[in-house]
A = this chain, B = another copy of it.
Amino acid sequence: MKKLFNSADRMVDDMIDGFVAAFPDIVARGVHSRVVRRASPRPADRKVSLLIGNGSGHEPIAMGFVGPGVLDANVVGDVFTAPPPELILQGITDVTGAAGSILLISRHEGDVINGNGAVMLAEDEGLKVRPLLMYDDVSSAPKGEEDQRRGAPGTMFIYKILGAAAETGMPLEPLVALGEEVRARTRTLAAAVAPGISPLTGAPMFDLPDDEIFIGMGVHGEPGVGRHKVGPLRDLVGHMVEVILADRPIQSGTPTVILVNGAGGTTLMELLTVYREVGTILDARGVPHSSPMVGTFVTTQEMGGFSISLLTPSDEMLQFWRAPSTTPYFPAIHGA
């Protein structure tokens, strides 16, 4: 296996070692070595804390987004494995003060079970913590069953908007409501063109015919909704945007944010071309769009592919989306 590690049992801890050493002004280990938290936390009695537990192997999400303006902590699980409830509890304990905290949970089975378990344990200890389920992948459950869908890269809208809102001192309940509203306004659809190599097995994570693209595959290779023949990108993107807008129509004149995420092995040249095609479609429909995010942020190792997420933000959401942040890997969002 040509992955660049020292050993399978150290890969996650070596990565965290490198991460906290590289960015000591921003991040530090928590009490438990698998918790990454802000190096200079804001007083948790006056600011609601945001954290997430997730399996590693998808970096820079979520560890890379810890810092002022986004997350307060990330609980780092093994590769592709949700951290256990007791470990998530360590993260909650580290960052929860009188203002309370929100545990973001990207809706995948292990994350939901372990996240809810951790919230129960934390409540038993008298901590004020609220779970917020995140789901945005239109391919994983039908319209009307949105709460059965998977978390996908559109969850980054929630990280950033709640992160900026929490910095302003917004209390716990309005923050949860804001997160639910961002979720309601976000839809994502992904396409996979080539498998990533699992660092656990050294093998490709799925098989894909040479002339086919999977539509709707999840971030761990979960099955999607269909296949598409390889052809001009314009056709693929047109189909994907149609599926997203069929699920949640966007009226002409409604401000929209486009997020194009690369799965790992897809070049920025391709991602910018995807963005161009999405923008052209929205332009033709009279949908104004600004402040996009285009790059490789939620990965499945070196998987080839991308996702398109659309958010129709309120004015307040757009302001939070564009607010400055200081984390190792969340990009600056531009646009006035």
Contact = CB atoms under 8 A, between A and B. Distances in A.
Contacts of A41: none
B26 A334 contact: yes
A332 B336 contact: no
Nearest to A61: B268
Interface string A1-34: 1111111000110110111011111100000000
A299 B268 contact: yes
Contacts of A163: none
Interface stretch (A130-138, A150-158, A270-278): A270-278
A335 B25 contact: yes
A123 B265 CA distance: 42
A4 B334 contact: no
A313 interface: no
Contact of A2 (B12, B230, B275): B230
A320 interface: no
Chain A: interface size category: 35 or more
Given A269-B57, A335-B25, A302 B302 contact: yes
Given A21-B275, A275-B18, A296-B296, A270 B3 contact: yes
A236 interface: yes
A193 B2 CA distance: 7
A264 B194 CA distance: 14
A267 interface: yes
Nearest to A79: B269
A301 interface: yes
B268 A4 contact: no
9 contacts: A2-B304, A4-B193, A4-B236, A18-B274, A18-B276, A18-B279, A22-B272, A295-B329, A329-B331
Given A4-B274, A4-B306, A22-B279, 15 more contacts: A1-B230, A2-B213, A4-B270, A6-B273, A15-B269, A15-B272, A18-B275, A22-B275, A23-B334, A56-B269, A199-B269, A264-B265, A265-B302, A266-B302, A326-B334
A194 B14 CA distance: 22
A262 to B, nearest CB: 10
B336 A25 contact: yes
A16 to B, nearest CB: 8
Q: Which 5 pairs, one residue from A and one from B, show the smallest C-beta to C-beta distance?
A: A18-B276, A18-B272, A4-B270, A59-B268, A265-B302
Given A4-B233, A4-B266, A59-B268, A21 B302 contact: no
A59 B296 CA distance: 12
A142 B194 CA distance: 39
A109 interface: no
Interface string A257-296: 0000000111111101111110100000000000010111
A193 B269 CA distance: 22
A34 B332 CA distance: 25
B326 A272 contact: no
